[in-house]
Chains A and B, each alone.
Chain A
Amino acid sequence: MQPFNWANVVSWVPLLACPAVPSQVRFLHSNHVGLRAHWRASRQWHPFSRQWHPAFCLLMIFIPSFAAAEDWPTYMHDNARTGVSGETLKLPLRPAWDYATPLPPQPAWPDSSKWDGWSKTYNLKTRQVFDRAYHVAVAGDALFFGSSSSDQVYCIDAATGKKRWSFFTEGPVRLAPTFHDGRIYFGSDDGFVYCLEAADGALVWKHRPGPRDRRIPGNGRVISVWPVRGSLVMQDGLLHGAAGMFPSETVFVFALDPATGEEVWKTEQDDLPVQGYLLASATRLYTPSGRDNPIVFDRGAGKRLRVVEGQGGTYALLTGDHIVFGPGKTGELGLVEGDQQDQLAQFAGNHMIVTPSMSYLHTDTHISGLDRPKYLEHSRVRKALMQEHRSHRDALKKLGADGDKEVIEKHKTEMARISVQLQEVAEQLKSCITYNEPCGQSLSLILAGDLLFAGGKDEVAAYAADSGKPLWKQAVDGDVYGLAVSGGRLFVSTDTGRIYCFQSAE
């Protein structure tokens, strides 16, 4: 029996949300005035309301996202960071507006080393790419983003690109806010978690997870020793996040009551930081650890379960109960299943999009389609074979050169047999790739309907998801690290601090 696959559920979201979601939910898309009041009035119908409708209770179990499909309420659309929107944009798109902050983003982390001299490995990847552009969250016609240069969170009219309001924190805001139930939640390097009214930016509450207010120079700014660099993620009525940089100063992973900011649980760790976008499933919380590998927590009680194995990186997504993360040392995405610690599969690539039937892999130069179920099936076979091979190898090592010759020979024969099988599996894995097309935009990737949007250096492009054929391209100012689709619009965030809005030309 195949394990339950969250990705299958994610793809149902548009189907469930469009015709079935009550009209009260959709008003968000046309009217921002009185946003909060209207939202509150409709909350008994909304899946995120505290008074859940029974139909939505069932839905909540399966959907890692909290928003109607038309929204992009958090980084990469949902708590699984799938980057998948049910919307389809009609090409070609035309520029509608662009918004520029006075200064470009000020990323916390510089680029990686030039090479690894010991292993002679070149083209090392930077494993902490989470704040190079102003990533956006979009709810209806309101777009929200935080700034690492001006310490503010902004609300922009998604239709016009005009600023509605901004809110001042006392440190860089490096991660996109999360929209939920008429409010936005975000953390700042000043050490606080903030909750604002989405409509007018009014402060609802703020909370400092760190033990005290100590601010020191960090990444070129005077910030808290415990900056909130683990993004806020809302799941099942709890707001999860993390604060702290240096394990020697203690790092805090926490869940708050979104209504009050009071701590529900808080777990300390003294071995790894938390930096980047957290992910959540029904039972688990996943925290990226900067250059290191993600940590898995039991979301209910905050108990730390394990650190998954891999090559590190802050890019991550959930596909069901699997976590995919990278880009590792040189651009590899590792896949770890459910309650496992070690990797099931590794993909050459920087980004991945997953749908029930297909996965899309994004490397420095190509975009490819992958028959994912088949690939995983073969990967499991390979994993088992490799384990078997390893056990024979270990046995041989234990026996030593003076061991029983017959037993040694037996192990060797088995290893040879497994090697042949591994070669066959390798061929089968190759056959799972349905296409592999050149792609000149390697920095970001999302899927909207049947279109893949890829961000690159000074340009954004659209590709047909089923074939990888290029369909549309547009020049922009800067490297495109952020993409979002909502309300018939494509939002493009670049490292020069620009946010572009594109709409269908028709």
Chain B
Amino acid sequence: MRAIFQTTICLLVFLVALIGTATAYAAEKPVMHWLLQPEQVQHLTMTDLAGTHSGQIQGLVRYWHGNRLSALTFDGLHNAIIAPAPQPLLKPQALTVAAWVTIDKPVPHGGIAGLIGKDKPFGSGWWLGYEGDRFTFSVPTAGETAPLKSKTTFAPGRWYYVAGTYDGKTQRLFIDGQLEAASENSADTLAAPEAAEFVIGAAREGEAVVSLSGAIHEVTVFDRAVDADTLRANFDHKSGAFPAPLKITVGPHVEFVSRTDAIVSWETAEPRPSIVAYGLNEQLDRRAANDGPTTKHQVKLSEIEPDAMYAFQIRAAADATNAASQTHMFDSHFNYTLPTAREEPSPYPRDELTDLYESFAQKILDETDIRKGYCLVLGTEQGRLAYELARRSDLKIVAVDDDPANIAATRAALGDTGYYGLRISVHQGSLSDLPYGEYFANLIVSDRLLVRGDLPADAAEMYRVLRPSGGVAYLGQSDKRRVTVTTADLKKWLSEDPNDASQIREEGGPVAIVRRGALTGAGQWTHQYGHADNASCSQDFLVRGKMNVQWWGRPGPRPMPDRGPRNPAPLSAGGRLYVQGDRVLFGLDAYNGAVLWSKQVPAVRRANMPRDCSNMAAADDALYVVEGNHVLKFDGPTGELKRVIDIPGENEGAQDWGYLACVGETLLGSAERAGAGYLGDFGEWYDKNEPSAIAKVTSRRLFAVDRHTGAPRWSHREGVIINSTLTVADGRVYFVESRNPAALDNPEGKLTDEVRTAQYLVALDLESGKKLWEQATDLSDALRVIYLVHADDTLAVTGSSQEKYHIWAFDTQEGKPLWQEAFKMKKEDHGGAIQHPVAVGSTLYCELRGYNLRSGKLERSDLPERRGCGTMAASNYAFFYRHRFHGMWDLETNTRSEFQGIRGGCWLGQIPAAGLMLAPETSSGCSCTHSIQISVGYIPAAMTKRAPPAK
């Protein structure tokens, strides 16, 4: 009996203790506990740890990664989490709201977490936020109560534990566990909106929503005031998990070097070890490192899975406790390296020809430096030259022979190797009537000539398929014992085209080397609107008439930005096509579409071209790309980073490189507010007449540097320059600037009304930067867009207001007004109000009208209807644009045609250059059922061997 009594007592004590513990635990439990990590997110829904509250994530979901924890990033534009507000928190008697947060950009009124009214006038309830660069906390009362402000001013990239408490009487603000501000308040007079939502990462400013720019890891809300010791303990518990921001001065860039390996490269100001944390599924569980301290870093990541998204972060130390970069992503879908053939013994015997083939193949590659693209072998023999070239390069080789025995022998040798097919195609056919399209071969060689001394049949046919602008024919013999061909024989094969470089060498035997020059009459597209004159005309004389497909291939839609946000145009120079994807760059061969190189560049992105300027410019030998506050100069053929060019001159606070043009040996640039440019990451269309779309990106300084060395030449600073008007032609730089004090004093880099007054059209000398003239002018009607074009000694400013297009023409010599015109626009949507003009010859085409540039006389209004959201590009004879599909308007015949099944994006994506019409994929994201979604090159049918009969 006693035992039973004792047991009962023990049980009761245990139960009381248990209930007590549970009660205590319940008291400690927050009302809401949001951990902004991937495991809490299902698509666009975030659930709190208890699973009792959930909120919708607005905008794209991206993460920052720390040490064994992560955070949701907020883009400063669209991101926020909105959840129903729990009833007990609407007018709480007591409260604590705490958050781990990092903020990149101060704003007048920012939000971390709190209550916002659902309906107008969108009043706020209790609120943890920031004003300028100080944290704030407020528990509003019926009367006016100033929010508590922190003493701490936050630094971009640094993490803070911010907590506001309210015990019914006193509100307190803690930063990193330290009390920084307190004031008395009374719960009796607490104010809250009638219907409120709980919002993380955004604030209301009137009707506008201001999204936080930074990241939030955790938000906890209690219905009681948590004491200072607990807050300090919370801070101590996690503070080590947030590394300090690591400043990366250049990059990072990611480039695949094999099917499984990628190189990450970046630069830092101080020498550091090179460490990359990376992994799949938003995890950073893998490390790659080079220990030696350096400022120019390169780390190889191995065993990269195909078709997968990787997160990665640059770290400053192996233990990752002190500093880390932002988290970036790279995508192995964009690995265009060739599969590696298994290392197997040569399928050919080791004999007296072995050295000949091996050495000749090596010599071809070394002397031509052509290692990618397509190689044509005229006369394949046993396939040995093709094989040795394939082994030593990334060339795709087409071997053609008219002898079935040679075809059979080549297939017998190579058919079971990993080279046959993808790397070496073997075709049976006539050498004097090749079945191939024009200009497809980067390199042409002959096995038959090498071993037998027999010349391939037809030089003209060879030149027909040899790529212009650098394609090489390398034909000859190198083994003295076998030489039967003579120099005289080879001379017949040399090019007579003055653009080509031909030579014959005698090294063991005669070898003819012909490097083709550019096609006469071919134009280039080196800047956003053709050339730096913004005329949207490539000056190409070849692209006209019926067009045939020249090539098609990658990139496809996946690496491209959504088609909507008016993205930068592709460029073409030196026979190459440069394409800017969504933070991915591509260098393609313009004539055969071969992907010569690609790089993932997380910090390279720009959108809304109608209100800004492009971040790319091309020269014959190089591609220049803006990355933050500097320009990257990439080698055109290889994509190798040759130089980083910084903004020259004095430091004017955080600034980005804005305008970019490459004219002659000069690189022009402008300095704009850091972060002023549009990114278009939320699929924005920038079509409507609203401030968030039409604000013009502006620059405060214009400068010139040497394009090879980056050496400064001159700098100009006066008004606020509208980027979309910067134009270079005939040794001058032209632009529209505003000297309105409201524009000059405005800290924003994007302005609308401020730049519509006190406007000047300005001309500078390109060489010296000296002002040549300026013309005060009123262009205020150019509200939605404003462009400047130079052609035929005329400067034409075009723009649009609510319903009209406006044109103002000026003489280039002194800036005197020539004429002006306004006309009603045909439609306001789908780019109808923001068309960029095109100048061909002496005619300015502005939204379906053609005006004489000098006189303003309306020359034609018969331009065909345009259906689509893009703008036009022209050669000297034809316009290209989106008309449902890829569309074309032939100026000579005034006929419109369309390339059914394939469409472009919502700005300028078809460029007539290199004698071709180049249309890289720009329709990405279009869920419509266009049957083909890929990059395409078209060639005028008149330039092909057998033009098909006109339909």
Contacts and interface: CB of A to CB of B under 8 A. Distances in A.
Nearest to B339: A103
Interface string A418-431: 00000000000000
A289 B396 CA distance: 29
A292 B929 contact: yes
A218 B551 contact: yes
Contacts of A220: 396, 553-554
Closest 10 CB pairs of A and B: A117-B683, A117-B562, A110-B556, A216-B437, A102-B418, A312-B929, A292-B931, A150-B421, A217-B551, A113-B557
Given A112-B558, A150-B422, A292-B929, A249 B415 contact: no
A219 B682 CA distance: 30
A476 B685 CA distance: 45
Contacts of B553: 217-220
Given A110-B333, A272-B900, A249 B548 contact: yes
Contact of A113 (B436, B550, B552, B562): B562
A496 to B, nearest CB: 9
B757 interface: no
Interface string B915-951: 0000000001111011111101000000010101000
A429 B363 CA distance: 71
18 contacts: A110-B557, A113-B558, A115-B925, A117-B563, A118-B683, A127-B929, A170-B426, A172-B421, A214-B944, A217-B440, A219-B934, A220-B396, A221-B422, A222-B374, A246-B552, A248-B549, A271-B900, A275-B931
A271 B901 CA distance: 6
A101 B684 CA distance: 45
A494 to B, nearest CB: 12
Interface string B395-409: 010100000000000
B592 A217 contact: yes
B425 A170 contact: yes
Max chain A CB contacts within 10 Å: which of B411, B549, B550, B899?
B549
A106 interface: yes
B132 interface: no
A211 B948 CA distance: 9
A131 to B, nearest CB: 13
Interface in B476-518: none
A321 to B, nearest CB: 23
B435 interface: yes
A118 B562 contact: yes
B440 A216 contact: yes
Interface in B551-596: 551-558, 560, 562-565, 582, 592-594
Given A110-B557, A290-B931, 17 more contacts: A111-B333, A111-B557, A116-B927, A124-B927, A147-B421, A214-B946, A216-B437, A217-B437, A217-B551, A219-B934, A225-B548, A247-B931, A272-B901, A290-B932, A291-B930, A291-B932, A293-B929
A493 interface: no
Contacts of A114: 558, 582, 924-925
A151 B421 contact: yes
Interface in A374-433: none
A245 interface: yes
A123 to B, nearest CB: 9
B342 interface: yes
A217 B421 contact: no
B435 A214 contact: yes
B322 to A, nearest CB: 34
Given A117-B682, A248-B549, A290-B932, A151 B562 contact: no
Given A113-B924, A118-B564, A291-B930, A152 B421 contact: yes
Nearest to A222: B398
A248 B562 contact: no
A450 B580 CA distance: 51
Nearest to B434: A215
Contacts of B10: none
Nearest to A125: B927
A267 interface: no
A213 interface: yes
A169 to B, nearest CB: 9
A293 B930 CA distance: 9
A103 B929 contact: no
A244 B338 CA distance: 26
Contacts of A112: 557-558
Given A170-B427, A217-B440, A121 B927 contact: yes
Interface string A444-484: 00000000000000000000000000000000000000000
A244 to B, nearest CB: 10
Interface residues of B, number: 69
Nearest to A123: B43
Contacts of A151: 420-421, 425
B416 interface: yes
Interface of A: 102-104, 106, 109-122, 124, 127, 147, 149-152, 166, 168, 170-172, 211-222, 225, 245-249, 270-273, 275, 289-293, 310-312, 329
A103 B594 contact: no
B933 A103 contact: no
Contact of B560 (A106, A113, A127, A149): A113
Interface of B: 43, 307, 333, 339, 341-342, 374, 396, 398, 411, 415-418, 420-422, 425-429, 435-437, 440, 547-558, 560, 562-565, 582, 592-594, 682-685, 899-902, 924-927, 929-934, 936, 944, 946, 948
| Residue from B416, B560, B582, B925 having most chain A Cβ neighbours under 10 A | B925
Contact of A249 (B307, B421, B549, B930): B549
Contacts of A106: 422
Contact of A291 (B426, B593, B929): B929
A219 to B, nearest CB: 6
A452 to B, nearest CB: 26
A73 B555 CA distance: 35
Contacts of B565: 117
Nearest to B428: A170
B420 to A, nearest CB: 5
B415 A150 contact: yes
A424 to B, nearest CB: 30
A110 B926 CA distance: 15
A218 B564 CA distance: 27
A481 to B, nearest CB: 13
Contact of B420 (A150, A218, A271, A329): A150
A102 B341 contact: yes
A271 B682 CA distance: 32
Contacts of A289: 931
B409 to A, nearest CB: 12
A331 B308 CA distance: 20
Nearest to B550: A216
Contacts of B557: 110-113
Contact of A217 (B416, B435, B594, B927): B594
B113 to A, nearest CB: 24
Contacts of A271: 900-901
B901 A118 contact: no
Given A110-B558, A150-B422, A102 B307 contact: no
A117 B925 contact: yes
Contacts of B550: 216
A505 to B, nearest CB: 32
A246 B549 contact: yes
A267 B437 CA distance: 25
B396 A103 contact: no
A168 to B, nearest CB: 5
B135 to A, nearest CB: 32
A301 to B, nearest CB: 23
A299 B575 CA distance: 46
A152 B934 CA distance: 26
Contacts of A171: 425
Given A117-B565, A222-B398, A217 B900 contact: no
B552 A116 contact: no
Please indicate which of the listed interface residues A113, A249, A273, A312 has the most CB atoms of chain B within 10 Å of its own CB. Answer: A113
Contact of B411 (A168, A215, A246): A168
